[in-house]
Structure 1
Amino acid sequence: MAAAIAALLASGTGPASADDGPGIGRLSARADRLMREASNAVAAHEKAQDAVRKGERRLADVARRQAAEQRRLDALRATLGRQARSEYQGASGLGTMLPLLTSSSPQRALDAGVRASRGDRAARQLTDRVTESRDRVADRRAESARLVKGLKAQEERRSAAREDIEAKLAKAEAEVRRARARVLAAGPMPTGGGNCARGDVGGHKRAGKGRTWVKPVSPAPLSAGFGSGGSFWSHRHTGQDFAVPTGTPVRAVGAGTVEYVGCGDGFGNQVIVRHADGYFTQYAHLSRIGVSTGDRLDAGEVLGLSGATGNVSGPHLHFEVRVTPQFGSGIDPLPWLRARGVGV
């Protein structure tokens, strides 16, 4: 059995060769298919997530316009009310005829009548504006209701996609575990996971104080990027690598809770953080871990030191953004960071 294949099986990040033992290739093929399907589900999740973000912006815009129109309507109604009270207080049974009949200057009386007629037209115009404004407010409310209904549908699609991802990846992981068990039965294999070193990481000093999102390491020289290396899940790079030397402080890119701390697989010493927006970030190949599962982290807080544990050719930070905590649910980290104002 090739050492490289054994290392992939040990890490749970790749399929076995059909020559590695009875059923291993078949199990791996099923895992590969499930991972591909999970990748499609990730794309569906991101599409629904994008629709939710656009819908939320649209809803906020409609709400602003509705509030502005409601203020305009209230002002128009107030003006109309004042005018109605004024007309009521000055009204007489003979209307505009009495001034004409009793005036020593019929022309001036006629002029006053014309002005009164113009006032009537202004009142009608004001009433029309009130009606139009009221209709626009109703339209905004109807549009808001449609948008809320659409957002609910997109949220349901996003939730269903996440559940689909989790189910498929759980099945894929089970397939890999079965394959790993068969290989273990054939003989020992390397774990490639480092020593799960824990300890002081230079204190929990924050970087970018006051910022919501930050770089995981600084400086942040990029090396292997997301999706590079091949077209199949077992060969495609699942995150973004930062070429930093061993011992570089690694920081939580945003506030969150430590979801997982582990070692012993191809990622070596790793930390996974859950963020409030539902995404997860992974920090792998660490030389030292400074946090525990359940810890609350601020943006920029040090969680470990970079290193070369796991299946690596040299020291660097492997950084992932995932839809779920599971391997295989990753998305391209750089656009995700840039959308949050982090220049990398």
Structure 2
Amino acid sequence: MRSPHRRSRVVPVLLCALVLLMSRPTVSVADDTPSGDGPAALGLSAQVVRLYEDAAQATSRYERGRQEAEAHRAQALRIEKLLDRERRELGVLREDLGRIARAQYRTSGGMPLTAQIVLASSPEELMRGQHVFSQTNLAVNNAIEKSRRAEDRLVKDEAKAVAAWEGLQKRNTELAELKKTVERTLDEARWQLQGEADAAVAAGSCSGAVRLDQKRKKLSTAWVAPVETYALSASFGSGGQRWAHRHTGQDFAVPIGTPVRSVADGRVVKVSCGGAFGMEVVVLHTDGYYTQYAHLASVAVDQGERVDAGQWIGQSGTTGNSTGPHLHFEVRITPELGSSVDPVPWLEERGVHLG
């Protein structure tokens, strides 16, 4: 059998790992925001983009914390097993004490040890009596000391295990609350942005390009999807009560304020803020095709401006004839409605696979 003392050394090591996780400071949104440049100091469109980044970071921290907590929870369960083993070994030590006491009683025949020594009939018998006394006393003392140490260790390890579980729960609660706060702030800002967009569409005029601070990425292809993360909804040619004939584009279900990007290099030929498409941008590409981005909540380019593949040209919304937040994306052979082709195979021919 392994020594319980050796096993017990594993417990503090695992518990130290848990303590290190718990001792990390909770990061708030403001921790990543330089003084004077917080979300409140930015324009609403830029604020939404910033909050998207904050939400992504908070979600990432939450997921990392959750995964670490799960890993350490498994370690904590192993600690609990070690504690159970310590409890069983402590029970064995206590049984040993009882066995030694019973053996001592049987060996002495119920007669006090001092009387046995006094009544010894020879020096040899006296020496044997002293030896028995010494060995018995040593065994009892060792058993008592081992039992005492095991009890002390068990009490301390149980207290550490409880503290570790409580700390993990506290850390998870803090991470979840941080994530919830950022998402709530983002949701409020998104609908405020949508409100401003609805007012602009109702007035039939755009307020001008909102320049968004984009961290440009090196693209491996000349063509990209119009949004990075999405769920495909209404497809090209599908029927619906809100369309006069058939759906003329591909819809991407995304939250309000999601950055919308040009699928390739081109020139902006139209920026409009009225009509069934609400706030929209149309781009002419070098191969002669036009792409339309409709139902936006803001535009980030001006008419006549040149754009690069992947460049943000606006933010998604639900302006115009729309039932909910999404990007309506069309590919046309002319800049006007009525010349559209199916965007999905068109993009696939250019190496962009949607799904």
TM interval, short-chain normalised: 0.3 to 0.5
Greater gyration radius: 2
TM-score, normalised to structure 2, is 0.45
- Which structure is richer in relative contact order (CA contacts within 8 A, separation 6 or more)? 1
